[in-house]
Chains A and B, each alone.
Chain A
Amino acid sequence: MHPTFTGSSTSFPGSLKGDVVLVERFCLQKYKFSHGDVIIFRSPTNQKQMFVKRLIALPGDWIQVPESSEILQIQEGHCWVEGDNPASSLDSRSFGPIPLGLVQGRVTHVIWPPQRIGQVERKMPTGRISPY
């Protein structure tokens, strides 16, 4: 998710290098999300691991899968997530659309380190989805 977040570096174990973010869970009452939200969810392949990615498509949207010219419609109850750094991101391009039930919250602010404190913005890559 670079440059939106800086992850904790694996070469310096034990030091708090990664960003600390605030995750809100009110959105789980009605499972109402918007395009471009950054969400945190349980990995579909390993339930003990959590991923933070951006929500690109909601149920019913048609999405164009990058690096291949296929168009796919997201089935009900699922969503398509992608990382902001497509070069090194394990996301829906590898494991497909994920059920919305795996989502554990929405990231709203970065709260540490102090020079990166601020709101996490909702942005959408253009031209990827269409509602029909």
Chain B
Amino acid sequence: MAVGSRAAVWLASAAQRFGSVPWRDISAEAVDRTLLVIKAVCFAHVINSYVVSLIQVRGPSMLPTMNLTGDIIAVDRVTARRGTVAVGDVVLFRSPENPRRAITKRVLGLEGDAITYLVDPHKGDASKTVVVPNGHAWVQGDNIYDSRDSRHFGPVPYGLIQGRVFYRVWPPEGFGFIGQKATSL
């Protein structure tokens, strides 16, 4: 019948077209591309975990150095790993009150330093002096009126420090190094 033979002709030509597609080349190229993507993802992960990462920060505790919201900063992870954090550095560390949160504050003292701080800046001038124990660091936000830091949860062990903040990447007006002292844009 005419329909049957037309179908047979179509099937035969489809089989021929199927056979002429270069399957081996296509699959080789697909594997190559996939491996390239996997390598790129691994490279990005290693850089992010061990060299430098970009973090967005929020909150009023580091005003005026960092804005309330929307600042993106670059965190250097090599310094914390080597243990060469210095007084005056802004660091990123895991909160001792909640290990799933990372917070940024400035280091005001290392082990052995004596820190004098205002107990409650809203209510007068009473101050306390404390010596930072071995293996710990004293961290404080630049905005002492609205910051939860070592004045509340005590000195922080070095093992919690994940990186040192060294550069502000966003907003563009604020592009620049984050220095050793509290400064504004």
Contact = CB atoms under 8 A, between A and B. Distances in A.
Interface in A46-84: 46-48, 75-78
A64 to B, nearest CB: 23
A42 B159 contact: yes
Contacts of A44: 135-136, 157, 159
Interface stretch (A2-10, A99-107, A109-117): A99-107
A45 to B, nearest CB: 4
A47 B156 CA distance: 11
Interface string A9-34: 00000000000000000000011000
B158 interface: yes
Contact of A99 (B133, B134, B160): B160
A43 interface: yes
B129 interface: no
Given A44-B157, A47-B83, A47-B159, A101 B99 contact: yes
A47 B133 CA distance: 13
Nearest to B158: A47
B59 to A, nearest CB: 18
A99 B94 contact: yes
Interface in B84-98: 93-98
Contacts, number: 53
A31 B157 contact: no
Given A47-B83, A47-B158, A76 B97 contact: yes
B95 A101 contact: yes
| Interface range, A side | 20 to 34
Contact of B159 (A30, A43, A76, A78): A43
A96 to B, nearest CB: 10
Contacts of B97: 75-77
Contacts of B159: 41-44, 47, 101-102
A77 B98 CA distance: 5
Contacts of B94: 99, 101
Given A42-B159, A47-B157, A101-B160, A77 B99 contact: yes
Given A47-B83, A101-B99, A102-B157, 10 more contacts: A30-B100, A31-B99, A46-B134, A47-B135, A47-B159, A48-B83, A77-B97, A99-B99, A100-B99, A101-B93
Interface of A: 30-31, 41-48, 75-78, 98-103
Interface of B: 83, 93-100, 133-136, 156-161
5 contacts: A44-B157, A47-B157, A75-B97, A77-B97, A98-B157
